[in-house]
């Protein structure tokens, strides 16, 4: 799709914040062309409420991606909604939230995909703004390595290694963001963690709303969730889901290939910072308009 898109109508949902444990109400609203994705905290004064979805506003990457605006207002756990917006091709939207983080829903992006599809998608009258990767950029932190390299479409390849459980060991996954691929291949894959980490997280004030209803919990070589896994490789699929959401903070769709060994929110943001730090590594361009807008509106 070459044209910008927004929601056809307003839609809302409610849920629990994964880390705060607070009840959260979220409203998704349409937005005009070139608006981008913008969060608005409705529980704070209006002059501090607006938080654009931008890579340079990422202030914390512990177990989620958290944004902070110049006035110090934050919004966290945004990655699953951002992934759903990118996966369904929403360029412009307003996200109103009455709490400091988004609802976790079931721990995946599927509920947000459902919301967007219920609201409907509206084709707008300006070409989509793209970010083309012109040369490889690479960041490394110990055994974690993430890169972006030139490619004609958006694609993601990732690998995770966990020596402490035979349930995962090593998993590798790939996603090419063509029509329908996000929903079909990764949208329903949930966030995950280990049972022994739960108490540590709660002492740090994190994971207060976590449960078997919104996260996969691993205990040794067992999945504690009664329904088990949705996919045998659900873990790596969720890592790719996170990367899709984190990279959408670039401010537009990236034409390039993401490669990650042990990726995570910190590394995903680091590679965006490396990309935009090198003016020769990227350029903005309008999508080629290959069809009549009226035919797809």
Catalytic annotation, residues: 265
Q: How many CB atoms lie within 10 A of CB 198?
A: 16
Encoding tokens for residue 44?
């704070």
Encoding tokens for residue 233?
């490789």
SS3 92: strand
Encoding tokens for residue 155?
């694609």
Quick check: 87 and 108 in contact, CB under 8 A?
Answer: no
As a whole number of angstroms, the distance between CA 148 and CA 269 comes to 12
- Closest to 285 in 3D by CA, of 148, 93, 134, 84: 134
Residue 254 carries which DSSP code? E
Largest CA distance in the chain: 56
- Closest to 253 in 3D by CA, of 110, 125, 83: 83
As a whole number of angstroms, the distance between CA 267 and CA 91 comes to 24
Quick check: 29 and 122 in contact, CB under 8 A?
Answer: no
Quick check: 64 and 204 in contact, CB under 8 A?
Answer: no
What DSSP line would sit under 69-110, residue for residue? -TTS-EEB--HHHHHHHHHTT--BEEEEESSSB-B-TTSSSH
Quick check: 27 and 106 in contact, CB under 8 A?
Answer: no
């Amino acid at each position: 799709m070459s044209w910008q898109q927004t929601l056809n109508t307003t839609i809302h949902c409610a849920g629990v914040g994964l880390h705060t444990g607070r009840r959260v109400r979220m409203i998704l609203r349409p937005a005009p062309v070139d608006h981008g994705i913008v969060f608005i905290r409705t529980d704070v004064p209006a002059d501090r409420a607006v938080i654009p979805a931008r890579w340079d506003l990422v202030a914390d990457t512990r177990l989620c991606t958290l944004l902070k605006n110049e006035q110090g207002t934050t919004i966290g756990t945004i990655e699953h909604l951002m992934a759903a917006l990118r996966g369904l091709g929403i360029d412009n939207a307003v996200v109103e939230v009455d709490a400091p983080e988004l609802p976790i829903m079931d721990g995946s992006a599927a509920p947000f995909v459902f919301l967007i599809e219920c609201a409907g998608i509206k084709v707008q009258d300006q070409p989509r703004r793209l970010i083309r990767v012109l040369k490889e950029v690479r960041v490394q932190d110990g055994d974690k390595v993430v890169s972006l390299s030139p490619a004609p479409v958006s694609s993601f390849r990732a690998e995770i290694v966990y020596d402490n459980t035979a349930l995962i060991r090593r998993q590798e996954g790939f996603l090419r963001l063509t029509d329908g691929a996000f929903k079909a291949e990764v949208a329903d894959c949930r966030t995950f963690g280990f049972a022994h980490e739960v108490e540590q997280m709660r002492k740090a004030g994190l994971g207060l709303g976590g449960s078997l209803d919104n996260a996969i919990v691993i205990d040794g070589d067992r999945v504690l969730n009664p329904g088990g896994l949705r996919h045998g490789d659900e873990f790596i699929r969720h890592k790719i889901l996170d990367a899709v959401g984190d990279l959408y903070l670039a401010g537009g769709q990236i034409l390039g290939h993401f490669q990650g060994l042990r990726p995570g929110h910190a590394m995903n943001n680091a590679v965006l910072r490396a990309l935009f730090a090198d003016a020769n590594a990227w350029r903005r361009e309008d999508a080629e308009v290959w069809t009549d807008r009226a035919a797809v509106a």
